[in-house]
A = this chain, B = another copy of it.
Amino acid sequence: MKTYLDCLPCFVEQALRASRIATDDDKLIKQVLDDVGDMIKEIPMENTPAESGILIYGKIREITGVADPYREIKQQHIAEAKALYPELEKMVAESDDSLLTAIRLAIAGNVIDLGINKTFDIVADVKRILKQDFGIFDYEAFKTKLNAAENILYIGDNAGESVFDKILIRQLKRRVKYAVRSQPIINDATMEDALSSGLDEVAELIESGSIAPGTILNRCTPEFIRIYRNVDMVISKGQGNYEGLSDEKRSIFFMLKAKCPVIARHLGVKEGDIVLKGINL
């Protein structure tokens, strides 16, 4: 997915929000906005928005000197999600279709995204998403693919959401490799976050090599690309990974909540819709 004109004001808004988390110094924040403003004309519109995230969040790091502004917030989200975990497991166990409930929960976890959402209420969102209609619902194809698969690459998105992924991975009942970013970027899950989410209990944890808030294959490690090409099934969580992988040639299942108008339009769904979309099936 390319960068759309609507992404440009959003980049400036994200820069403001993230630099406020990194520092209280309005002069530094202003400097970030000045520099991100200058960057608008240099951002290649043919790149994915996630790729530009490297530049924008790199600028915040450079100016504020804070390498991982979301560190504490990520830990907090993981702790909150873990506190919910027994209840979520119970929801899955008591549901008529435990796989589908686990998918819904994994998507509900995707509301934990500080790059785009300013505020969210995990419990309220979980309850809503458990009942919400899907904008795209390729569930039959998902089950067919899953039944034929021995191994799965599950590309994670945000910290906290990672705990919700654990629920789904348990239901997949396959050998799963769970991929995380190789460097902190916004609140995306890193190896440290995956470990504190307890994902090592259900999957083999790997780094994708990505330092973007998404998966841009030509910026990933050869090892990750090899796994991606050879695995039976790929599950990709969230908008950032969709941005990087939406034009790929292999089969992928995307699970996300369409949190911005650009992604919603690209998917052909309404903003706020939940999506289970398979490509190249």
Contacts and interface: CB of A to CB of B under 8 A. Distances in A.
Given A5-B16, A5-B26, A12-B9, A41 B45 contact: no
Given A37-B38, A37-B41, A13 B9 contact: yes
A39 B36 CA distance: 11
Contact of A30 (B5, B33, B37, B39): B5
A37 B40 CA distance: 6
Interface string A7-37: 0110011011000000000100110011011
Nearest to A13: B9
Contact of A5 (B6, B33, B45): B33
Interface residues of A, number: 20
A30 B7 CA distance: 11
Nearest to A37: B40
Given A5-B26, A13-B13, A36-B40, 12 more contacts: A5-B16, A5-B30, A5-B33, A8-B12, A8-B16, A9-B9, A34-B40, A37-B37, A37-B38, A37-B39, A37-B41, A38-B38
Given A37-B41, A39-B37, A16 B12 contact: no
A31 B33 CA distance: 18
Contacts of A6: 16
5 contacts: A6-B16, A8-B16, A8-B33, A9-B33, A34-B41
A9 B5 contact: no
Contacts of A15: 9
A37 B16 contact: no
Which of A29, A30, A39 has the most CB atoms of chain B within a 10 A radius of its CB? A30
A39 B33 CA distance: 11
A136 to B, nearest CB: 25
Contacts of A34: 40-41
